[in-house]
């Protein structure tokens, strides 16, 4: 088996993808999810605005204090009328808040996307398959279309992929890898749906092409 020629055996691919998924989580505190990252990448101003709003609120004490000030401003004297709750000994400062993980800066998302493309470039270069081409190979031509017709289908397919992944709330990395491995209900269902649909449609196309 060669690392750079032919396709990898299943065990190697599985290990590599798992390293990516776990690596992202351990290194950023967030789960790998390309659909979500693309969505944020396409909205640079909003992404940075949200990041700026959240900076400084990463620890529970600061958040609680800020909320108290806001409560005074909003409700005034009514705050004092709230029935007292015995202050708990397990104070919030000891535990990090759920959403306290800082959002990645927009530039990090751009770096991710560029590195993904670079990974493809390296792979093709090292395996001797790097070449500029405007088609997707014989299988695509046989099952779907060639030339400009193929480009139109690629665009349409891309549209469905972009739209569908946003609607479902994730893609093969977000739902498929990060979600299913943690047994998340939405991810298991979403993965079954997109895989199932892909298999059925594939079957249909093979039947039509035969």
Residues 6+ apart with CB under 8 A from 162: 38
Q: Which residue reads 């289908």 in tokens?
A: 153
Sign of the CA dihedral with 86 first, then 88, 89, and 91 last:
negative
Retrieve residue 194's tokens.
């997109």
CA angle 113, 173, 165 (to 5 degrees): 90
Task: Provide, rounded to whole angstroms, the least separation between the CB of residue 96 and another protein.
Answer: 10
Task: Provide, rounded to whole angstroms, the least separation between the CB of residue 130 and another protein.
Answer: 5
Task: Provide, rounded to whole angstroms, the least separation between the CB of residue 83 and another protein.
Answer: 7
Residue 50 contacts residue 39 (beta carbons within 8 Å): no
Task: Provide, rounded to whole angstroms, the least separation between the CB of residue 43 and another protein.
Answer: 8
């Amino acid at each position: 088996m060669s690392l750079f020629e032919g396709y990898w055996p299943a065990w190697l691919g599985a290990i590599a993808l798992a390293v990516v998924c776990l690596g992202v989580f351990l290194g950023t505190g967030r789960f790998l999810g390309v659909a979500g990252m693309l969505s944020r990448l396409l909205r640079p101003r909003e992404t940075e605005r949200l990041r700026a709003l959240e900076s400084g609120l990463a620890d529970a004490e600061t958040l609680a204090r800020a909320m108290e000030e806001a409560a005074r401003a909003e409700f005034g004297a009514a705050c004092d009328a709230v029935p007292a709750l015995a202050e708990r000994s397990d104070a919030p400062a000891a535990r990090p808040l759920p959403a306290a993980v800082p959002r990645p800066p927009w530039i990090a998302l751009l770096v991710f996307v560029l590195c993904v493309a670079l990974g493809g470039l390296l792979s093709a270069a090292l395996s001797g398959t790097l070449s500029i081409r405007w088609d997707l190979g014989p299988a695509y031509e046989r099952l779907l279309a060639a030339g400009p017709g193929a480009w139109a289908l690629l665009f349409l397919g891309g549209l469905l992929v972009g739209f569908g992944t946003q609607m479902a709330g994730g893609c093969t990395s977000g739902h498929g890898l990060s979600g299913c491995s943690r047994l998340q209900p939405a991810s298991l269902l979403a993965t079954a749906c997109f895989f199932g649909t892909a298999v059925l449609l594939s079957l249909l196309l093979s039947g039509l092409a035969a």
